[in-house]
Structure 1
Amino acid sequence: MSLEKILAISGKPGLYEIVTQTRTGAVVESLLDRKRLTVGAHSNISILSEIAIYTLTEEVPLKDVLKKVKDKENGNPTSISHKDGKDALEEYFFEVLPDYDEDRVYASDIKKVVQWYNLLQKNNLLDSLESEDESDTSEEE
């Protein structure tokens, strides 16, 4: 399972996995409670593989940020909660991505990254981050 099949839907909690595409949108399954729902093309949907985090020099793909969190936590859930305070979240994120742009990356963004990482970890979807890299390099050769 790659991040191209995982979605964040505005106004809905958690992450969703694409089950199938329809003519007018997609059927998705919640990673929180495994309930399925249909989302239309008018919904504000973000595909995780398309998301990047601003740093002082470039935009780092979310996949790379999640890998850094995984390395820091040795594949375990994060040592902080997404419900922790702004200062604790920023301090944690600074350890993960030291050159992130503090003016353009808000505490709410960090909260989402921590929450998404924990959700992906709980559903054993973090291993796909490693296999994506291997398939990327084999396609380039």
Structure 2
Amino acid sequence: MDILVLIGRILFGALFLTSGANHLVNRTAMAGYAASRGLPAPLPATLGSGVLLIASALSVLLGIWADLGSLLLAAFLLSTAALMHAFWKETDAQSKQAEMTQFLKDLALCGASLMLLAFFSYAGDDLGLTLTCPLFDID
């Protein structure tokens, strides 16, 4: 089972590593999009979210307090869904559909992150192929 969990962590974390890198490398374009969605201080928010994504993804990938990394990803995804993909504000049908898809994707990934939080916390020391034990103890 440990190897399956590791493969899942790698596949899950890769999405957020690449997304975080994109936030940093394409920060001007990403900040422009954040500004268009009404986010205050879009450039610092873009840079901060890029660092958060990379740190959280590495936490899950490497198994360094992976439960904390999962919690941070869940918080990021929930806030991103609400702030960046508010489909209910769209008037154009195509834009509304695109934003709804992104909103639902973020909610689904948030749910997966919460399940990982519970899994890592519950498995504790029994979960192999991690560098640290979980930070939280959920029974």
TM-score over 0.5 for the pair: no
Taking structure 1 as the reference length, what is the TM-score of the superposition? 0.29
Rg (Cα) greater in structure: 2
Taking structure 2 as the reference length, what is the TM-score of the superposition? 0.29
Say which structure is richer in strand.
Answer: 1
